[in-house]
Structure 1
Amino acid sequence: MLRNLYLCFLLFIFVLSLSAEDFPLGKLIQDGPATPEQISLYLPVTGELDESIIAHVKYKKDGTSKWLIGHPLHRIRPAATGRKAPKKAYAGVLWDLTSGTTYNIEVTLKKGDISSVKKISLKTRTLPPVTGKATTKIAASSTSAQIQSIWNAAKPGDIIEFANGTYNVDRLQFKTSGSIDKPIVIRGESREGVILKDVKGNIIQVLECSYITLENLTLEGSGKDSGTKSASKAVSFWTASQPQVNFTFRNLNIRGVDMGIMASKAIRGVLIYDNTFNGNNLWKREIITTNSTWNDDGIRIPGQGNSCFNNTFYGFGDCLAMNDRVFNVGVHFFRNDILMTGDDAFEGDYGHRNITFYDNRIQNSQTFISMDPMLGGPVFCFRNISINTGRGPYKLNNKNTGLFIYNNTVVRTNGFGSGKSWGWVQFNNGPLVAWGYCNNLLIWHGKGNTFAMESRGQNPLDFTNNGWYPDKSFWWTGTGGSARSMDAVRKKLPATKPVFGKSTKRHENDIIIGANQFAEEIKLGPDFLTEIKKQYIPKLSKKSKALGAGVAIPAVTDGFTGKAPDIGAVITGRKNPEWGDRSQSKK
């Protein structure tokens, strides 16, 4: 009898252990280096696990009691990913965080009576402090060779300051490293008064070194567009054998260059903020309808733990980008103001996971967002404004998964190429699986039809609560049918499984809206060639049907007022971001 009771007790303990941790999961970790306003998470899946199980996230500041709900982690699906398949895992990002702050995080998976809770405490990166008194000063009469000699002799903690003046330089190089606690600082006496000018090629090349801050001066290039040669570069990272780590670029004017700050191999912990970039491209037909701008990246920061925020851009090609053949993880682009760019505003191509693009404002681009492809995801693109795209808003080419596009506002007119006859057309360049498109606003003033999605797959999928103009043909070629109106196609489409939401029907709660939905009318030209110079904030008018027509999305629509969040980037109840270079706006 006692033996049977003992066996029952052991069985009870075994069942309890199963119910507590029966999911094949590894350790919840921080994914890549810390960044100032995000925490990237990665949770390995170590065995067979139903892909439909959602990993819910909550978090709070350490020492406080108020928990907040984060966006659920994305389940990485190797079979839905092109190229070399990633490992099975969950991944995701917390955003809108405070720099230099510790957060307690819990991730919960549950199915029936079985659940698993993973806990971790992580700290966001502290922004580099204001620098102190200069230890070395560079005289206004200094030659390029003299400047290089001073830089070569720099030691950790040195603060090197240029006196006001224009310095004609020739490919200056960063060669020596600071340390994590004592970076080398190179700065100007004043931002407008110190000009490092190189009309030939790289103004600054970064060799195999780390822990350097460049601030408070102007970099000036050739001032002449070199086409696809992209000869004039502000800062170019040499393809070192080891990643260059912890570079900060802030309070800079960068002008007259084909490329801004660019790397081709992995860099880590790079911060680019409060700068103004002016490239060599113009919004002219002979430039923006050819390949002339395609190599002119404004920012290219492949690698891990890099952040580009609160910058103002004009005159590049792919304005914000990573690079191919690099493991791109935890790279973030937010609150940038792009006035004109000749190709993709955000080229998310080749990102692997935990990439974000949010709270940016773009006017005059050829493509708003490109994912060609993402390599497993997730990438989160939300609360962005895009006005006057030439080719089209979204390019989701190749075999793709883990793309989450929320609360964006797109207003466009007659374009060219793929953007000539459709408000948005996605050709069948590979299947789309496990992705989301919710709360987005697309207003199309051009000739032709509204929307065509030809990519196969489309299951699971969240595609709800979007606003469209006009109601003129909606196609889901190959995955459900096409029709001349949204309501007609919605009735044709078969059921799908959701990713995070509850809807099993594409276009559920989508609405048709009018041509002008905003408190201030957005005035476009007859076609995309009319450059839009007025900077708009597309706040919905009081009569807009898009008000309160969205669905609540954790961490995206937080703070909304009313019965439900609005469709589009400007959400009632949420404070608008401060777009672009903050140091210039305060003058």
Structure 2
Amino acid sequence: FLVIFWTSCSGAANLPIGALSHDGPATPEQISLYLPITGPLGNAAAASVHYRPASGGAWIEAHPLHRIRVENTKGPKPADAFAGVITGLTPGASYAVKVTVRFGEISETKTLNAVTRALPGSTGAATKVIAAESTSDQIQTAFNEAKPGDVIQFEKGIYLVDNLQIKRSGTPSKPICIRGESRKGVILKDTSGEILNFLAANDVIIENLTLEGSNSDSGTRAGSRGINFWNGAAPQQRITIRGVTFVGVDMGIVAWGNTKQLLVYDNTLYGNNIWDKKFVQTNLTWNDDGIRVPGTGNAVFNNTLTGFGDSLAVSQGVKNIGIHFYRNDIRMTGDDAFEADYGHRNITFYDNRIHNSMTLVSVDPIYGGPLFVFRNIAINVGRQPYKLNNRNTGFFLYNNTVVRTNGVLSGAGWGWNQPNNGPLVAWGYRNNILIFRGAGSLLAMEPGRQNPIDFTHNAWFPDGKIWWTNSGGCFPTLADTRSKLPATTPLFGKSTRRHENDVISEPDPFIVKVKLGEDYLKQIVTAYTPKLADGAAPRGTGVTIPGITNGFSGKAPDMGAVITGRPIPFWGDRSMRVDNAQVLLQ
């Protein structure tokens, strides 16, 4: 739920802007903001954001709102508006927010009070018990008779089931809970299809059990599914999935239509894909989504995943707004770690750690944005780290660390190769690290337009060829590129020069050295936390980005995902209490 106490403006209403509102339902650690534009207003207008606890205290600067570029958006046309996200908040807490829009000498401030979503509490004692060795039909009967507030608990045992359906709803204050007596000791096993299938059901919690699928990949059919949301009953609302282990499934948690306020956290998911040429150089992984949650107000955090195609995703045909993916630990993914394709606005992907992916993030395309991708780690990327296809606008890549070696297709011969698949307008790439230890050149950024843009304060290895073929030229070195590219207009930064304040990094600038194979097919099984060593070129040479580098120590923030002064996240399933430095799941 969302609570809005008051909105106001300072002085007369001088600018053509509407009321500041929360964009969709509340989420646990974010406030998504939306400010409509009601009349002609130049793109030079800027919207700064500050927030603080509603009880008072110093104002904290967040990332500015993004002006959606309607004319540069492919697909469904968004309305003219500002939008953006405040992150790093506390669940179930009240905050005051103020947004100040400035255009020339005119300014106007809008204010809002909002409450982040509280996480569901513990579910109490069992009200119904499913006995060990119960049949699938008996279990289905128990599900069909569930009432608001029921806690249905499985006794320890292995249950052979067949497409169990959940079609009864709880209420926001009295959800239905389905859980195991113990997470490892209760196994629901379906080798032929969907283990749990949500129909027209709301306010349900699934927790503390194991779901086991076919343990055999079915190719692009992706027939073995852990939890499925039937799109004929969409939108399912306020479903919580926590403390669940998924074993041997093609797809983990997948929705096909609109969903609202899904919470997916502290789960561990094992897919059926493996890291070899047969899988990652073909289409075998393409439909094998780990967690796919299209809709509004959904949050996916602190999950551990391995063996899927796109580990995290939204999907087409749904208005995807206010969806957040954070602190997840992806051990191996045969396609994209995050497929942001078809996202609309206020989508975030941050503080995630990924080993062994083919692409870190796909943006193919988004419908206006903003999309924020920041403080992510990607070790061993087989293709290009960022796929920015189609006519595209409104995505911002900040403080990400990518370390890769010889790859395949778009990842062969270049550190990052972005083909000319459509113009890129109004986007940002700042404070990132890209280490390429393969053979070839550094960067091929082929799309045209590239204006306005923020493309500064990044670290690269090695120094080499950089191509901005359709927006400025091709050059042999970073220094040559920086000096000869034509001027551009910034969005949130100040520089009119791409690559300004970029640095050439050492091949391994980290305290703990990151060891890769000769090529990407060597699966990395050591978990890395790439903290920069003192004196490394990216150390303390970034730029301050409100909402992204808050809390850094020193004169300037570090480039990359691990920023000195900021706490290191706990990645992955916290309920398993796995140490961040452990050997990876395989």
AA at the equivalent of 2:471: T
Pairing 1:312-461 to 2, within 5 Å after superposition: 312-461=304-453
AA at the equivalent of 1:33: P
2:132 matches 1:140: yes
Return 78-87 or 272-281, whichever deviates more.
Answer: 78-87
2:205 matches 1:218: no
- The residue aligned with 1:472 is 464
- The residue aligned with 1:167 is 159
- The residue aligned with 2:150 is 158
Pairing 1:58-207 to 2, within 5 Å after superposition: 58-207=50-199
- The residue aligned with 1:8 is none
Cα shift readout 1:226-267 (whole Å, capped 9, x = no counterpart): 011101000111113441000000001101000000011010
Cα shift readout 1:475-532 (whole Å, capped 9, x = no counterpart): 1011111101011011111111110111110000001111110101100000000000
Unaligned runs of 5+ in 2: 1-8, 580-586
The answer on whether the counterparts of 1:220 and 1:234 sit within 8 Å (CA) in structure 2 is yes
SS in 2 for 1:518: coil
* Equivalent in 530, 545, 548 of residue 556 of structure 1: 548
SS in 2 for 1:331: strand
SS in 1 for 2:508: coil
AA at the equivalent of 2:191: V
AA at the equivalent of 1:523: K
CA distance in 2, matches of 1:483, 1:302: 41
- The residue aligned with 2:5 is none
2:10 matches 1:26: no
CA distance in 2, matches of 1:551, 1:105: 24
The answer on whether the counterparts of 1:21 and 1:114 sit within 8 Å (CA) in structure 2 is no
Cα offset, 1:83, TM superposition = 1.4
CA distance in 2, matches of 1:285, 1:486: 33
CA distance in 2, matches of 1:125, 1:243: 19
AA at the equivalent of 2:34: Y
The answer on whether the counterparts of 1:20 and 1:115 sit within 8 Å (CA) in structure 2 is no
Pairing 1:269-308 to 2, within 5 Å after superposition: 269-308=261-300
Cα shift readout 1:408-434 (whole Å, capped 9, x = no counterpart): 000000000010110001111111111
- The residue aligned with 1:510 is 502
Cα shift readout 1:266-286 (whole Å, capped 9, x = no counterpart): 100000000000000000111
AA at the equivalent of 1:461: I
- The residue aligned with 1:6 is none
CA distance in 2, matches of 1:22, 1:559: 35
SS in 2 for 1:333: strand
Cα shift readout 1:517-566 (whole Å, capped 9, x = no counterpart): 01011000000000000000001111201111000000100111111000
Q: Hey, which bits of structure 1, 4+ residues long, moved more than 6 A?
A: none
AA at the equivalent of 1:296: D
AA at the equivalent of 1:392: Q
CA distance in 2, matches of 1:51, 1:157: 51
CA distance in 1, matches of 2:21, 2:432: 32
AA at the equivalent of 2:566: R
Cα offset, 1:315, TM superposition = 0.1
Cα offset, 1:20, TM superposition = 3.1
- The residue aligned with 2:4 is none
SS in 2 for 1:150: helix
The answer on whether the counterparts of 1:20 and 1:114 sit within 8 Å (CA) in structure 2 is no
AA at the equivalent of 1:468: W
- The residue aligned with 2:49 is 57
The answer on whether the counterparts of 1:35 and 1:307 sit within 8 Å (CA) in structure 2 is yes
The answer on whether the counterparts of 2:10 and 2:108 sit within 8 Å (CA) in structure 1 is no
The answer on whether the counterparts of 1:74 and 1:92 sit within 8 Å (CA) in structure 2 is yes
AA at the equivalent of 1:171: N
- The residue aligned with 1:10 is none
Return 437-446 or 104-113, whichever deviates more.
Answer: 104-113
The answer on whether the counterparts of 2:10 and 2:110 sit within 8 Å (CA) in structure 1 is no
Q: Report percent identity of matched pairs.
A: 57
CA distance in 2, matches of 1:398, 1:241: 32
- The residue aligned with 1:238 is 230
* Equivalent in 557, 562, 566 of residue 565 of structure 1: 557
SS in 1 for 2:232: coil
CA distance in 1, matches of 2:348, 2:68: 16
AA at the equivalent of 1:443: I
SS in 1 for 2:490: coil
The answer on whether the counterparts of 1:195 and 1:218 sit within 8 Å (CA) in structure 2 is yes
AA at the equivalent of 1:448: G
Cα offset, 1:586, TM superposition = 6.1
CA distance in 2, matches of 1:205, 1:325: 20
- The residue aligned with 1:263 is 255
CA distance in 1, matches of 2:534, 2:78: 46
Cα offset, 1:49, TM superposition = 0.3
The answer on whether the counterparts of 2:73 and 2:392 sit within 8 Å (CA) in structure 1 is yes
Unaligned runs of 5+ in 1: 1-16
CA distance in 2, matches of 1:580, 1:569: 16
Cα offset, 1:190, TM superposition = 0.3
SS in 2 for 1:93: strand
Higher Rg of the two aligned structures:
1
* Equivalent in 471, 483, 487 of residue 491 of structure 1: 483
* Equivalent in 257, 282, 302 of residue 310 of structure 1: 302
SS in 1 for 2:279: helix
* Equivalent in 209, 217, 223 of residue 201 of structure 2: 209
The answer on whether the counterparts of 2:458 and 2:503 sit within 8 Å (CA) in structure 1 is yes
CA distance in 2, matches of 1:126, 1:457: 43
CA distance in 1, matches of 2:520, 2:384: 10
SS in 2 for 1:367: strand
The answer on whether the counterparts of 1:81 and 1:401 sit within 8 Å (CA) in structure 2 is yes
SS in 1 for 2:119: coil
AA at the equivalent of 1:423: G
- The residue aligned with 2:529 is 537
SS in 2 for 1:405: strand
CA distance in 1, matches of 2:368, 2:535: 40
SS in 1 for 2:231: coil
- The residue aligned with 1:9 is none
The answer on whether the counterparts of 2:45 and 2:104 sit within 8 Å (CA) in structure 1 is no
The two structures have a TM-score, normalised by structure 2, of 0.96
The answer on whether the counterparts of 2:304 and 2:573 sit within 8 Å (CA) in structure 1 is yes
Cα shift readout 1:426-479 (whole Å, capped 9, x = no counterpart): 111111111100000000000110001011111110000000000110110111
CA distance in 2, matches of 1:215, 1:159: 11
AA at the equivalent of 2:395: L
CA distance in 1, matches of 2:165, 2:488: 55
CA distance in 1, matches of 2:491, 2:129: 57
Cα offset, 1:132, TM superposition = 0.3
- The residue aligned with 1:7 is none
CA distance in 2, matches of 1:358, 1:431: 25
CA distance in 1, matches of 2:558, 2:12: 39
SS in 1 for 2:410: helix
CA distance in 2, matches of 1:568, 1:543: 15
The answer on whether the counterparts of 2:199 and 2:233 sit within 8 Å (CA) in structure 1 is no
The answer on whether the counterparts of 2:234 and 2:257 sit within 8 Å (CA) in structure 1 is no
AA at the equivalent of 1:268: K
